[in-house]
């Protein structure tokens, strides 16, 4: 296949077959189903070692969906049987892509089962992760925090999503701050100086000259802020840009914007939230924790596993990425009554988002700072639903796409043992922690509450912010970055969404959304 060309809508063509691109559905005969005892988790129709990769992948997907239903219903016997069979099919952090995905999601389901049924055992084997007071937000250990920081660095390097988001953010800030002499940028998760070095360089090139720039960085580790501040101060001195760095050591959940961020009179304020606001959607108390023991079953698994597997034979011939398969499969299964229904938030919804007092208070505090522009980058998926089965299926779709593009990114970066280890760190320390949080946690402990764009539009509008359409020039800059740095990988795209937001895509599926806002008092 020829080299990559960036298409008009910002989506790049695929240069090579990803490990998940050709997932075909195997055909199951009634004879083999009968021999299997009518259950995909009772005994396997073929020994796992004789299964082809695509056949094993399809079985793993259906076993995962069934297991999630059984866990949600509190059916320990059948959930355990599913987990055993998934293990027989080779689910492992060191397997092929689908086996690694299965290992990650079964770990999350097993943790949820243990937490619900044997909390003492769960605390013993996880180091007391759930032993804190109700409503407390557990702090990761120093080693775990360091591993996550390194994994985020690898994700930044291997996949372009965060680079693209910062390119768009910097352009929006430059346009909003045109003519301003004193600029105050508030970074709600200051972990990396690189994006703001690019902003320093752009501000220095302004026809009217560089403004005085003050950056307030928020992070819960002082060492991280010290590194960011030192690096930015060094670069500002080289560029002869008046600069001040103000570190704020705090968890975002504990931050009072008006008291901690100290905006001075005459400053033009910009706020950047990079994958952070969703963490404020958790309740302040332990409401929701009873879901562990008193599972609210929104739907039952009324279709037998035989009928589900027979459906696969009727769907034979489908070929595509794992993400495409997962997008298609649950809708077919819902028609057969397996209990899954598509998320009500899969499209633009007029229904109000769930109430969050913490989020409303935080947004009110940001509004009080009167920002001329606020950049919000969030995951484009709904992992904030109350029903476990809905969250599980949304997460399986979403993280399968991330696994896919990460694998392609590691291969495009040269492959080999070093890139494989970097990929593994991202999958385990970053994606793994997020999936465990989405699936195994409830109440105040569940922090990865990603929501789709339509929910954020409603929340920010209600808080008194007005949308700022992102410029076409920002879109062109993002597409240029893809052309220059990611031609060997392919599959990535940037496209404009309704209302002037920009979607960062993999294989035409939006995975992250960038939006810009301003305090309505400026309108």
Provide the pLDDT for residue 128: 57
Provide the pLDDT for residue 286: 53
Query: What confidence tier does 60 reach under pLDDT thresholds 50, 70, 90?
Result: very high
Is 508 part of any domain? yes
DSSP 304-340: -HHHHHHHHHHTTT--S-HHHHHHHHHHHHHHTTSS-
Would you say the C-alpha torsion 219, 221, 226, 227 has a positive or negative sign?
negative
Q: Is 496 found in the same domain as 372? A: yes
Domain containing 201 equals: 158-284+352-383+456-519
User: How far apart are alpha carbons 65 and 394 in whole angstroms?
Assistant: 11
Please give the share of the chain, as a percent, with pLDDT higher than 90: 57
Q: Is 213 found in the same domain as 115? A: no
Which residues are within 8 A (CB) of 33 and not within 5 positions of it... i.e. 6 or more apart? 45, 306, 309, 310
Domain termination residue (choose one: 67, 95, 122):
122
Q: What is the pLDDT of residues 436-446, one digit of tens each?
A: 999 999 888 89
Whether this model's pTM surpasses 0.85: no
User: How far apart are alpha carbons 194 and 211 in whole angstroms?
Assistant: 19
User: How far apart are alpha carbons 430 and 57 in whole angstroms?
Assistant: 23
Q: Is 111 found in the same domain as 174? A: no
Q: What is the pLDDT of residues 167-207, one digit of tens each?
A: 999 999 999 999 999 999 999 999 999 999 999 999 999 99
CA atoms within 13 A on the CB side of 442: 21
User: How far apart are alpha carbons 512 and 503 in whole angstroms?
Assistant: 6
Provide the pLDDT for residue 523: 59
The DSSP output letter for 488 is T
Could you report how far apart the first and last alpha carbons of the chain are, in Å? 50
Is 436 part of any domain? no
Compute the average pLDDT of residues 115-126: 74
For residue 119, pLDDT over 80 is answered with no
Provide the pLDDT for residue 132: 42
**Average of per-residue pLDDT values in the chain:** 79
Is 409 part of any domain? no
The H or E element that residue 176 is part of is helix 161-176
Provide the pLDDT for residue 125: 74
281 or 4: which leads in pLDDT: 281
Provide the pLDDT for residue 57: 87
Provide the pLDDT for residue 520: 81
Q: Round the CA-based radius of gyration of the chain to a whole number and report it.
A: 24
Query: What confidence tier does 141 reach under pLDDT thresholds 50, 70, 90?
Result: low
User: How far apart are alpha carbons 388 and 182 in whole angstroms?
Assistant: 48
- Assess contact for 187 and 218: CB atoms under 8 A: yes
The H or E element that residue 461 is part of is helix 453-462
Split into its structural domains, the chain has a count of 2
Q: Is 509 found in the same domain as 360? A: yes
Q: Which two tokens stand for residue 377?
A: 């980058």
């Amino acid at each position: 296949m020829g080299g990559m060309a960036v298409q008009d809508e910002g989506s790049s063509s695929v240069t090579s077959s990803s490990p998940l691109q050709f997932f075909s559905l195997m055909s199951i005969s009634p004879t083999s189903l009968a021999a299997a005892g009518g259950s995909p988790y009772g005994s396997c129709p073929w020994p796992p070692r004789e299964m082809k990769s695509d056949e094993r992948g399809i079985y793993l997907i259906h076993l995962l969906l069934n297991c999630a239903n059984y866990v949600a219903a509190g059916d320990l016997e059948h959930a355990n049987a599913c987990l055993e069979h998934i293990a027989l099919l080779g689910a492992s952090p060191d397997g092929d892509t689908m086996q690694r995905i299965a290992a990650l999601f079964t770990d999350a389901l097993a943790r949820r089962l243990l937490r619900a049924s044997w909390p003492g055992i769960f605390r013993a084997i996880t180091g007391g992760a759930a032993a804190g007071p109700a409503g407390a937000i557990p702090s990761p250990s120093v080693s775990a925090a360091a591993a996550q920081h390194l994994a985020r660095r690898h994700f930044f390097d291997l996949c372009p999503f965060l680079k693209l988001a910062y390119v768009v953010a910097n352009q929006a800030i430059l346009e909003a701050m045109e003519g301003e002499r004193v600029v105050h940028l508030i970074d709600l998760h200051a972990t990396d100086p690189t994006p703001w070095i690019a902003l320093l360089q752009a501000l220095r090139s302004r026809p009217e000259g560089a403004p005085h720039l003050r950056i307030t960085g928020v992070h819960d580790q002082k060492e991280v802020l010290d590194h960011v501040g030192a690096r930015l101060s060094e670069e500002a001195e080289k560029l002869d840009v008046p600069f001040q760095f103000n570190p704020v050591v705090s968890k975002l959940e504990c931050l009072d914007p008006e008291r901690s961020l100290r905006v001075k009179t005459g400053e033009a304020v910009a706020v950047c939230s990079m994958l952070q606001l969703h963490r404020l959607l958790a309740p302040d108390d332990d409401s929701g924790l009873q879901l562990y023991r008193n599972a609210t079953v929104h739907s039952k698994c009324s279709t037998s596993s035989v009928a589900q597997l027979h459906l696969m034979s009727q769907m034979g011939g489908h070929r595509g990425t794992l993400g495409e398969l997962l997008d298609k499969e649950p809708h077919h299964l819902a028609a057969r009554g397996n209990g899954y229904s598509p998320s009500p938030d899969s499209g633009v919804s007029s229904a109000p988002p769930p109430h969050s007092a913490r989020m409303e208070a935080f947004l009110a505090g940001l509004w009080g700072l009167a920002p001329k522009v606020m950049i919000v980058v969030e995951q484009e998926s709904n992992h904030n639903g109350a029903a476990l089965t809905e969250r599980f299926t949304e997460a399986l779709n979403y993280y399968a796409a991330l696994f896919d593009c990460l694998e392609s990114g590691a291969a495009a970066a040269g492959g080999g043992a070093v890139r494989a280890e970097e990929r593994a760190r991202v999958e385990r320390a970053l994606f793994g922690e997020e999936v465990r949080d989405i699936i195994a946690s409830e109440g105040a402990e569940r922090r990865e509450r990603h929501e789709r764009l339509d929910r954020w539009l409603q929340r920010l509008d209600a808080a008194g912010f007005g949308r700022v359409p992102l410029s076409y020039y920002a879109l062109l800059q993002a597409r240029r970055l893809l052309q220059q740095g990611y031609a060997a990988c392919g599959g990535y795209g940037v496209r404009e969404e309704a209302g002037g937001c920009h979607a960062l895509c993999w294989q035409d599926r939006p995975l992250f959304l960038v939006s810009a806002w301003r305090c309505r008092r400026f309108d």
